Structures are given as C-alpha cells and as structure tokens.
Amino acid sequence: MNEYQPVIHRHDFSGACSPVNWEDCKSCAKDKGYKGPTWNTFSVGIFEWLPRVGGHGLKKGPVKVRVKGLCSAAEEVEREAKRICKQLDAGQYHGPKTITVKAGK
C-alpha cells in the first residue's frame, strides 16, 4: 500500500506478495521456511477508495490499472504505480489498463 492513509476517492495500490513487502504476505513461501520470494514477476493493482455501504469506513474499489514487472524491478513498479495514482487523483490518466515496467527504465 501507498504511504498515505486511505481517503475517499483517492487512488492507491496493493499487490499481494510484492517483493517489497513479501514478509507481510500470509500465503508466501516464507511460511514453508524459505527466506525470500520464489517468483520472478509480480503486479500491483491500482484502485480507488470508496465508501462502504452504510457509510462506515472505506473499501477498495475495482482495479483500474495493473502495473506489472520483474521482482528485480520492484521499486520501479511501485514508483510507476505511485505516478499513475497521482494522475488518476488529478483526473489526468488516459493510459492503458495494464502497464509492464521494464527493469532499468
């Protein structure tokens, strides 16, 4: 998740088993004694925070954009996701629904 607290209609991203936060993942190979991720690629989904029915709290809306890439480019993937979140918040994103980040870009 991004560094700010959820705010209604703000965009954020999450990715189960992201290499940056894989230690927090409940279903990762670490539960089986491995010391790190065992996959080569991952993705994060960018969504909008929406009000829950009844007005108590917020929930994740559907994924609007998916950013994917190699685990070795995890910081670049998350940097791109943050950039797209800012554009979505400003109403200025008109790009594709899926973005693939190349390592070193």
Residue 27's pLDDT is what? 54
Alpha carbon distance 7, 96 (integer Å): 24
Write down the pTM of the prediction: 0.79
For the segment 54-81, what is each residue's pLDDT rounded down to a tens digit? 888 999 999 999 999 998 888 999 999 9
**Would residue 63 count as lying in a domain?**
yes
DSSP 45-96: EEEEEEEPTTSSSEEE----EEEEEEGGGHHHHHHHHHHHHHHHHTT---S-
- pLDDT tens-digit series, residues 1-49: 555 688 999 999 987 666 665 555 555 555 555 555 667 888 999 999 9
The answer to whether residue 6 is domain-embedded is no
Give the C-alpha distances (Å, rounded to integers) separating 55 from 47, 50, 52: 19, 10, 5
The closest of 101, 81, 82, 84 to 41, measured between CA atoms, is 101
Residue 17 counted as domain residue:
yes
Q: Which domain holds residue 96?
A: 11-27+38-101
